[in-house]
Amino acid sequence: MNIANTVSLLGGLAFFLFGMSLLGEGLKRVAGSKLEIILAKLTSTTFKGVLLGALVTAVIQSSSATTVMVVGFVNSGIMKLANAVGIIMGANIGTTATSWILVLAGVEGSGGISSATVFAFVAFIGIILYFFCQKQTKKNIGMILLALSVLMSGMQSMSGAMAPLKQSPVFIDFISAVSNPIFAILVGIAVTAVIQSCSASIGILQALSITGVIGYDVAIPMVIGMCIGACAPVLLSAIGANINGKRTAFIYLFFNLSGALLLMIPFYLINAILHFDILNQPATSLGIAIINTVFKIAATLLLMPFSGLLVKLVTLIEKDKSGAEEEEYEENLLDDRFLNYPPLALEQSGKTMDQMSCAAFKNITKSIDLLSTFDQVKYDKIMCREEKVDRFEDRLGSYLVRLHTKPLNDGENLVSARYLSYLTNVERISDHSVKIAELAQELNEKKLAFSPQASSDLTIYIDAVKEICQLTLESMQNMDYMLAGKVKPLEEIINMMAKNLKIGHIQRVQAGQCTLELGFIFNDLLNNFERVSAHCSNIAITVLESQDSHLKEHDYVGSLDRSNQNTYELQLQFYKNKYLDMIGKN
């Protein structure tokens, strides 16, 4: 090969790899953004896992990517280790799609003009759809057609660049050396480990088959080596994972190694007796695709009944050094591997947000309980829960910021922004619960008690705060716009109540019915409860904004006045009767 052929080969490889990536992205967009989420959920049996793994991998064009996702699922506790086996087996089958695309495209032999003409036409249709259609679905189809054209152009360029190799004595000598099955397997492993894609390495082998020099005695073991080499990126992804995440990566390795041994050893033992003629024939693109598919399906059929043994094997090899299986920790939900799959990353962020909000609002309830009956154990639990909320905020905040560096569609950007808005307000609610608990502790340590009237009014006020917290939590967890619409009028009533309570307490202090020290504590309690209701209102506004992305926070009350005046006034009157009018009656 001269310099021009080498440049053509490298350029063809670049087009081929880029086309594969583009094709996977286009197929994923057409298939929808829920593929990763479906993959995480529908794994109740090994057979279902095999089918699902094959489907998802055929779409995203990478068994390694699917398995990396599965490592993340197991690492985060979404999926059990036993359920991951089926997905891994199916991923191996799904990755054969690329080799069949190359065969069906007619890219073999001399890479004839008819094939080039067809894909030029496909590229022309693709560019029209991509640039001139308004609907996103048609644009995505255009991307798929363009990706196929780029993929095939790269394949043809590689095939053309490799054609002179059949005249090269050096290449022929190398192929003669590679005819040793073990050496061929090692070459296949090395090539795939470098390229990080089994589909790409087999595609290169298909392009190389145009030389006519490669026989099936080389192609068969090399394909198997390439399948084993696909484990490299998965093993790398398991670095830093928990014990079950690492075991998942090893399952992928052992599955491919076991499949290779179970099929290769009998094949070569029988060949030693029968001497298969096919091994002496030159390999073709079609033959390589068949070998790839037969090997992966056969390995799956052989090993599927023994999925439990694979799990036991990796459990014995990768032992839990702590002496006990790891618990599922909430932080694990935000696995960094999911950042490359935004829909999945957002679903996990939503689950984390739910856990964080439940912890924060539980802290409010528990801190209120301390005002009537102080308990040091409950106080300590509030402080521990606050630390948990702080961890959530730190981890989820940085996770969402990193997610924003990925390509997100408009809907995903809105969801991410909503979680970021929730984040600050929920964390502040937990902070105020701590301050309320500290005020309860102060009351207990100093043996202080509010006057009967102050206690009665405070009880009514706290009931209103509890209700606004409950409305807010349910509205954000269920995206319930009706409940969210009740929060703002209740917040307005809570603010009115706080103002009246402060005035009444000042009057009691002046009348000598209450001490100045108790007055400060009472005022601090009201201020913290007011801030809690304000943060609840902010969260409710965010929920309502998601109903109409054009609605801005400062427009919220105005929009209620213009569009829902009657509803707003009715809610306001309802909460006035329920809470505000009850103040000072006892």
- Among candidates 53, 67, 35, which has minimal Cα distance to 253? 67
Residues 341 and 260 both lie in one domain: no
Which of 22-36, 60-74, 407-421, 476-490 has the lowest average pLDDT?
A: 22-36
**Residue with the larger pLDDT of the pair 197 and 574:** 574
Q: Is the pLDDT of residue 171 over 70?
A: no
For every residue of 224-282, DSSP letters joined together read HHHHHHTHHHHHHHTTT--HHHHHHHHHHHHHHHHHHHHHHHHHHHHHHHH--GGGGSB
Which of 26-40, 60-74, 469-483, 517-531 has the lowest average pLDDT?
A: 26-40
Q: How confident is the model at residue 550 (pLDDT cuts 50, 70, 90)?
A: very low
Residues 249-272: b if buried by 16+ CB within 10 A, e if exposed: bbbbbbbbebbbeebbeebeeeee
* 233-237: average pLDDT: 77
Q: Which pLDDT belongs to residue 460? A: 92
CA–CA dist 8, 159 (Å, integer): 10
**Residue with the larger pLDDT of the pair 95 and 268:** 268
Single-letter amino acid code for the residue at 132: F
Q: How confident is the model at residue 411 (pLDDT cuts 50, 70, 90)?
A: confident
For the stretch 51-76, pLDDT in tens is 888 887 777 666 777 777 777 777 76
Residues 430 and 471 both lie in one domain: no
Residues 113 and 232 both lie in one domain: yes
Measure CA 175 to chain center.
43
The answer to whether residue 254 sits within a structural domain is yes
Q: Which residue matches tokens 């394909």?
A: 223
Q: Is the pLDDT of residue 31 over 60?
A: no
Q: Which residue matches tokens 């006020």?
A: 461
Pick from 259, 291, 317: which residue ends a domain? Answer: 317
233 burial (CB, 10 Å; 0-12 / 13-18 / 19+) is buried
Residues 488 and 385 both lie in one domain: no
Q: Which pLDDT belongs to residue 123? A: 84
Q: How confident is the model at residue 324 (pLDDT cuts 50, 70, 90)?
A: very low
Strand partners, 282: 215
Pick from 317, 350, 375: which residue ends a domain? Answer: 317
Contact 89, 304 (CB under 8 A): yes
Helix (H, G, I), strand (E, B) or coil at 204: helix
- Provide the percentage of residues in the chain whose pLDDT is more than 70: 81
Which helix (H) or strand (E) segment holds residue 567: the answer is helix 565-578
Q: How confident is the model at residue 586 (pLDDT cuts 50, 70, 90)?
A: low
**Residue with the larger pLDDT of the pair 242 and 270:** 270
Q: Is the pLDDT of residue 571 over 90?
A: no
CA–CA dist 410, 429 (Å, integer): 29
Q: What is the mean pLDDT of the chain?
A: 81
Torsion of CA 345, 347, 352, 354, to 10 degrees: 160
Contact 212, 282 (CB under 8 A): yes
**Residue with the larger pLDDT of the pair 57 and 268:** 268
Q: Which pLDDT belongs to residue 104? A: 64
For every residue of 472-511, DSSP letters joined together read HHHHHHHT-HHHHHHHHHHHHHHHHHHHHHHHHHHHHHHT
The answer to whether residue 1 sits within a structural domain is no
Q: Which pLDDT belongs to residue 105? A: 56
Q: How many residues does the chain have?
A: 586
Which domain CATH number covers 538?
1.20.58.220
Which of 180-184, 309-313, 558-562, 582-586 has the lowest average pLDDT?
A: 558-562
- Among candidates 79, 51, 35, which has minimal Cα distance to 304? 51
Rg (CA), the chain: 32
Residues 188 and 275 both lie in one domain: yes
For every residue of 15-30, DSSP letters joined together read HHHHHHHHHHHHHHHH
Contacts of 524 (CB under 8 A, 6+ apart): 435, 439
Within 13 A of 539's CA, how many CA atoms are on the CB side? 35
Helix intervals (H) in 326-375:
342-372
- Among candidates 435, 445, 443, which has minimal Cα distance to 383? 435
Q: How confident is the model at residue 513 (pLDDT cuts 50, 70, 90)?
A: confident
CA–CA dist 416, 408 (Å, integer): 9
Residues 148 and 267 both lie in one domain: yes
- Count CB neighbours of 291 within 10 A: 22
Residues 256 and 341 both lie in one domain: no
**Residue with the larger pLDDT of the pair 320 and 490:** 490
Residues 120 and 251 both lie in one domain: yes
3-state helix, strand, coil in the chain (%, to 5): 85, 0, 15
The answer to whether residue 54 sits within a structural domain is yes
Contact 52, 43 (CB under 8 A): yes
The answer to whether residue 328 sits within a structural domain is no
Residues 47 and 194 both lie in one domain: yes
Q: How confident is the model at residue 107 (pLDDT cuts 50, 70, 90)?
A: very low
* 385-396: average pLDDT: 90
The domain containing residue 101 runs over which residues? 10-317
Contacts of 433 (CB under 8 A, 6+ apart): 360, 363, 364, 366, 367, 382, 386, 532
Q: Which pLDDT belongs to residue 472? A: 95
Helix intervals (H) in 163-242:
169-178, 181-195, 198-208, 216-229, 231-237
Q: Is the pLDDT of residue 556 over 50?
A: no
Q: Which pLDDT belongs to residue 497? A: 92
Residues 286 and 348 both lie in one domain: no
Q: Mark residue 204 as left, alpha or beta (left: phi above 0; alpha: psi -120 to 50; beta: remaining).
A: alpha
* 428-449: average pLDDT: 93
The answer to whether residue 138 sits within a structural domain is yes
Number of domain units in the chain = 3
- Among candidates 212, 164, 205, which has minimal Cα distance to 187? 205
The answer to whether residue 330 sits within a structural domain is no
Range with the largest mean pLDDT of 321-325, 456-460, 581-585: 456-460
* 565-584: average pLDDT: 84
Residues 103 and 197 both lie in one domain: yes
Q: Which pLDDT belongs to residue 562? A: 43
- Among candidates 51, 94, 95, 88, which has minimal Cα distance to 314? 88
Residues 69 and 148 both lie in one domain: yes
| End-to-end CA gap in the chain | 98
- Count CB neighbours of 541 within 10 A: 22
Q: Which residue matches tokens 């004595």?
A: 169
**DSSP letter (8 states) at residue 215:** B
Pick from 317, 352, 372: which residue ends a domain? Answer: 317
Sign of the Cα torsion 287, 289, 292, 294 reads negative
Q: Which pLDDT belongs to residue 27? A: 60
The answer to whether residue 523 sits within a structural domain is yes
The answer to whether residue 325 sits within a structural domain is no
